Amino acid sequence: MIATDKSGANLVSLFYALIKDLQVYDLNNDVVQNAAKRLMYYVNTLLNMYNHIELVRYMDYIFFNKQRLRFEIDGYASLQFIHDKLKTIGVKTLTFLPGIDKDEIIIFASVFKEEQDTFQKHFASGTFDHINIEFATEEDEIPDFLRDGEHIKRTYFRALKVTKNLLHNLWTNQAVDVKSSRRIVYNLINALSQDEIGLMALTAIKDFDEYTYNHSLNVAILSLALGQRLGLSKKALARLGTAGLLHDIGKVEIPKQLIYKPGKLTEEEWEIIKHHSDYGVTEILKTRGLDEIGLVSITVAYQHHWNFDGSGYPAHEEDQKPTLFARIVRICDSYDAMTTSRVYQPIPYLPHIVLRILWKHQNIFYDPVLVKAFIQLSGIYPVGSCLELTSGEVCLVIRQNQGHLARPFVKLVRDAQKKKTDGRMIDLSVEKHIKIVKAIYPQKFRVDVATYFV
């Protein structure tokens, strides 16, 4: 049986190959015929497993039979091409039905490569008996199977509750079972596989009073999302997510008056704070159910302030390099910390500024390959960013455009006179006449980011 997570990617790749051949050769050429045979063999194999084959385009995603296809290095070109083509010709859902044959799929592929008007005219002619098309409306509609995003929110807030209980028990010297955190990490992995940006959007919600809990969970989610982009297995993601959740666990041994001190720390106080990496090892060793995942968490808790160039703390030999997971958590920890208000940082950095800081310090503090992957994941203007447009309107970034990182999907929240509005969604990669003037603090126009994601 074909692995489900690869089925859609393989289908898209074979369909892409046929379209590309049709751009060079005519319908009866051997190259086209052979490409069609390979595609039909795979289609028939899938139709023996499923009642139909459905590709759904929503925002910057493609779903194969309700499972989101990931943009990975292998197969990126084919997935991006099919996504952009579906978007250009206005198709929301493409369905292949049992009974489709080679000739029908060749003719469809030859029409699929045309412009929107030509495609819609050909499809309306009734030539295709085993291919269904659902065209998109003016606004991108949420597919039925994603319409209820409440489960994503429930997963996030359930995870936040578990995180609070875990850290509270450590602070009060109660017994801790690390298995509870492991269960929630698997729930987060499942949520990411369905709606990566939807879950990541919730990390934009910042709670000043519960920074410690929010930060631990946000680092876990961002680390999982980055690990998923790198193609890590589910087992590896479980280790990474747990390590992200527990990376700062040693801070339970630091006096709270130091952690929440509003002013600048003295040199002696800073040295105490730096010991949280050492204490993290001790705290994880005390938890029940310690296993391989716990041991990975120990390493990350100890190394997550080691820098890529060999500097950082706790002290270590310069040629001792942090593990991959520690390097991932290092980036996600810095990003979430710098974009969050804290007692000693009442005005956080704007998200796009933090990305510039990460970029500036690659090869010094951060792994350059991971920095590039993180920016590819988050976009130039991360979800939750507040932007001012050339129209004078103010908007929030709701989703990324994988092919156009500097032109995301946005929602208008203030009109040109800066009055509150429940405005429309805009795909800035399509409406190119609308430009981004600058990123701004949402507080400037009293925009409550959380209300748009919760």
CATH number of the structural domain spanning residue 342: 1.10.3210.10
Answer yes or no: do 174 and 103 share one domain. Answer: no
Give the end-to-end CA distance of the chain in Å, rounded to a whole number: 39
Answer yes or no: do 9 and 69 share one domain. Answer: yes
Last-in-domain residue among 126, 144, 162: 144
Answer yes or no: do 374 and 394 share one domain. Answer: no
Parent domain of 261: 148-378
pTM score: 0.72
Last-in-domain residue among 95, 122, 144: 144
CA distances (Å), 423 to each of 162, 386, 416, in order?
36, 14, 11
Query: Could you report the per-residue pLDDT of 56-75, keeping only the tens digit for each?
Result: 887 677 888 877 787 666 67
CA distances (Å), 416 to each of 104, 117, 220, 421, in order?
50, 34, 38, 10
Last-in-domain residue among 125, 144, 163: 144
Answer yes or no: do 126 and 156 share one domain. Answer: no
Letter for the amino acid at 164? K
Dig out the tokens for 256 from the structure.
Answer: 């709270």
Q: Number of structural domains, the chain?
A: 3
Residue 411 main-chain phi, psi, to 5 deg? -125, 130
Q: Which residues contact 406 (CB under 8 A, 6 or more apart)?
A: 379, 380, 381, 436
Query: Could you report the per-residue pLDDT of 279-318, keeping only the tens digit for each?
Result: 999 988 887 666 788 889 999 999 999 999 999 999 888 7
pLDDT string in tens for the chain (454-residue length)? 344 557 888 999 999 999 999 999 999 999 999 999 999 999 999 998 888 899 988 767 788 887 778 766 667 788 888 988 998 898 889 999 999 999 999 999 999 988 888 888 888 877 788 999 988 765 555 665 555 456 788 888 888 888 888 887 777 777 666 667 778 898 899 888 777 878 888 888 776 557 778 899 999 999 999 999 898 999 999 999 999 999 999 998 988 888 888 888 899 999 999 999 999 999 888 876 667 888 899 999 999 999 999 999 998 887 889 999 999 999 999 999 999 887 777 788 999 999 999 999 999 999 999 999 999 899 999 999 999 999 999 999 988 877 788 999 899 999 999 999 988 888 898 888 999 999 999 989 989 888 887 6
Residue 38 and residue 125: Cα distance in Å, rounded? Answer: 27
Return the CA Rg of the chain: 24
